[in-house]
């Protein structure tokens, strides 16, 4: 595994991870040889469209893959030791205590018949072996941390607004003091002003509790606001990885560039609609070679036949044949 920020041992090291889903006897590859490292306290955005594998990647890290998923290659290391990500029972001590998840639909993730204070106290009792009294005290503390008035603890989920429910989800995710929090589209269902409040809260909690944050989203502008680094996924592969500043100023992969250009940006002053041609790839019929080549304006002959590897490029990584000429300092991540 190579990474630009190699100074210290990474908190999380994902190496050549592939996950297949079994579907009616057919096996679909959802993510394909995904490799990256996450440093303690780092905020990484995992960006992609539906079907790009961003959620599968995150769920694999958290050991929450669905039963029909199979890890077909690679491994995930946490603080140097290998995680049993495909063994539900063996993952139990790790899950929630080291890596926790803030899910998208807070209304579906919360139990409608329990008061929120009880739901926040529950992981403390189950995972940390606290007594009911201790857990309730911890839950009160957590409510304060996420900005919910403590007296709202006796409310049921339906009595809270969407933003408040998302705060409850964050409080639950923080209950066991994890080092990594995965946000799976945590603000997608929220209004812009509420979204800004939640993103601000996540940012504050991250620096206060020195959390590493993996933010899964389809919205590049959300990543621009609150991450240090961004990884762009397309058809199950990471196609580009770099710092937020570099990727937005100088995207290397044509997909990244088109994606950035397709977002309306009044600050740019350019009132232009630039559609990306074609449709997102179908996993059943994955295009040969580079999966983006049928939609890519810069596609060459080699793009249709050879899968570009994710190579070191400058301070980031990119998987594109256009950037192969300057091989010099590159190290192939996988054969």
Partner 1 sequence: MPDTADILRLESLQVHFPIQRGLFDRVLGRPAGAVRAVDGIDLNIGRGEIVALVGESGSGKTTVGRVITKLAQPTGGRLLFEGRNMTAERGSSALRPYRHRVQMIFQDAYQALNPRHTVFDIVAEPLRSLRLVDNVTQLAERVSKALAAAGLNPAGDFFSRFPHELSGGQRQRVVIAGALAVKPELIIADEPVSMLDVSIRAQILQVLVDLRDKHNMALLFITHDLPLAWLIADRIAVLYLGKLVEIGSADEITFNPRHPYTVALRNATPQIGGNAGRAVLPALQGEVPSAARVPKGCRFHPRCPLTFDRCKKEEPPPIEVGPQHLSACWLAK
Q: List strand residue ranges (DSSP E) for 39-194, in order.
A: 43-47, 69-78, 81-82, 99-102, 180-184
Binding residue count for partner 1, defined by CB under 8 A: 42
Q: 84, 280, 287, 294: which one contacts partner 1 (CB under 8 A)?
A: 280
In the chain, what are the helix, strand and coil shares in percent, each to the nearest 5? 35, 25, 40
Residue span binding partner 1 (CB under 8 A) among the ranges 57-65, 66-74, 101-109, 261-269: 261-269
Q: Is 76 in the site for partner 1 (CB under 8 A)?
A: no
Q: Is 222 in the site for partner 1 (CB under 8 A)?
A: yes
Q: Directed axis angle between helix 132-145 and helix 162-174, to 10°?
A: 130
Which residue number, 161 or 210, has a Cβ lying nearer to partner 1? 161
C-beta of 220: minimal distance to partner 1 in Å? Answer: 6
C-beta of 200: minimal distance to partner 1 in Å? Answer: 7
C-beta of 218: minimal distance to partner 1 in Å? Answer: 6
Asked if 102 and 170 touch (Cβ cutoff 8 Å), the reply is yes
Residue span binding partner 1 (CB under 8 A) among the ranges 103-111, 125-133, 172-180, 222-230: 222-230
CA 303/CA 321 separation, integer angstroms: 7
Q: Which two tokens stand for residue 162?
A: 């969407």
CA 82/CA 80 separation, integer angstroms: 7
Neighbouring CB atoms inside 10 A of 228's CB total 16
Q: 40, 276, 307, 322: which one contacts partner 1 (CB under 8 A)?
A: 276
Query: DSSP label at 191?
Result: -
- What is the binding site for partner 1 (CB under 8 A)? 49-50, 161, 163, 191-197, 199-200, 218-222, 224-226, 248, 258-260, 262-268, 271, 273-277, 279-280, 282, 295
């Amino acid at each position: 595994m190579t990474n630009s920020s190699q100074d210290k041992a990474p908190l999380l090291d994902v190496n050549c991870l592939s996950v297949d889903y079994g579907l009616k006897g057919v096996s679909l590859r959802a993510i394909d040889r995904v490799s990256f490292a996450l440093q303690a306290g780092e905020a990484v955005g995992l960006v992609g469209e539906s079907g790009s594998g961003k959620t599968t990647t995150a769920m694999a890290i958290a050991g929450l893959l669905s039963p029909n998923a199979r890890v077909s290659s690679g491994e995930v290391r946490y603080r140097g030791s290998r995680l049993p990500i495909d063994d539900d029972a063996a993952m139990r001590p790790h899950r929630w205590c080291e890596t926790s998840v803030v899910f998208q639909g807070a209304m579906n993730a919360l139990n409608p018949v329990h008061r929120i204070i009880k739901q926040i106290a529950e992981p403390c009792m189950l995972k940390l072996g606290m007594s009911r009294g201790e857990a309730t005290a911890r839950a009160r503390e957590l409510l304060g941390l996420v900005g919910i008035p403590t007296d709202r603890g006796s409310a049921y989920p339906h009595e809270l607004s969407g933003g408040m429910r998302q705060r409850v989800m964050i409080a639950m995710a923080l209950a066991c003091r994890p080092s990594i929090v995965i946000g799976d589209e945590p603000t997608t269902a929220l209004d812009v002003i509420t979204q800004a409040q939640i993103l601000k809260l996540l940012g504050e909690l991250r620096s206060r509790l020195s959390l590493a944050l993996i933010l899964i989203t389809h919205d590049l502008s959300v990543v621009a606001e609150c991450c240090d680094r961004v990884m762009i996924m397309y058809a199950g592969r990471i196609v580009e990885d770099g710092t937020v500043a570099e990727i937005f100023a100088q995207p290397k992969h044509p997909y990244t560039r088109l994606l950035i250009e397709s977002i309306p940006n009044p600050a740019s002053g350019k009132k232009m609609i630039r559609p990306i041609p074609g449709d997102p790839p179908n996993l059943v019929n994955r295009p040969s070679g580079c999966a983006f080549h049928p939609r890519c304006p810069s596609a060459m002959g080699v793009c249709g036949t050879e899968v570009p590897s994710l190579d070191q490029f400058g301070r980031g990584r990119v998987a594109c044949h256009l950037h192969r000429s300057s091989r010099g300092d590159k190290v192939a991540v996988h054969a």
